[in-house]
Amino acid sequence: MRANMFLTTVILSVFFLAGCATQNKVIDKAQLSTQQVTITAEDNSFTIRSGELFKPSFRSETSKFELQNKNANIIDLYDEALKKYGAKKVKLSVNKDGLSTEFHGILLFSNVFDDGFGPGSRSYQLKIPEMYLAAARGGKISVVYETYPRPAGKAGKSWVLWISDLPFEI
């Protein structure tokens, strides 16, 4: 009887631990692929320019962040990203048709789950489609991010950028 209980406990523990992946993969390669965009930290600690390869100067382990919960409303999580996970306030300068438009943003780079795979688990590829910039006008908040696949149909987010034409009030 004790042997069966012990064996059951061991088996359940193995299954539980197998499902608890951690975010130990650190991504050291990144690129802003959207043309004519510059992202600058509000504290001037970094600048990211279109087309240039860069190594992120900060990353977070966000496995306990609601960001990884597919049912969470990610637009509302910028405050938590700043306060608990080391996200940075940034300014975006977008040049289009000779005109420059400024946006405010909050940028979060996350480590990747050990069981993550695919291109998004190996490098950050920042893409900011025009529709997300348009959705960030009039004081609204838009959010863009990159996902990468994980086993059992799960996914992780490797980076997140919240954007607005007004400063974020924290």
Give the domain ranges of the chain: 23-164
Q: What is the mean pLDDT of residues 99-109?
A: 95
Q: Tokens at residue 170, please?
A: 């924290």
Nearest partner of 128 among 117, 136, 140, judged by Cα: 136
Across 114-122, average pLDDT: 93
**Confidence category of residue 115, pLDDT binned at 50, 70, 90:** very high
Q: Is the pLDDT of residue 51 over 90?
A: yes
Reported pTM: 0.84
Burial of 75 (0-12, 13-18, 19+ CB in 10 A): exposed
CB within 8 A of 36, min separation 6: which ones? Answer: 50, 94, 95, 96
Handedness of CA 20, 116, 88, 68 (dihedral sign): negative
> In which band, very low, low, confident or very high, does the pLDDT at 72 lie, cut at 50, 70 and 90?
low
Confidence band of 7 (pLDDT split at 50, 70, 90): very low
Residue 13, pLDDT > 50, answer: no
Identify the residue with better confidence: 170 or 159. Answer: 159
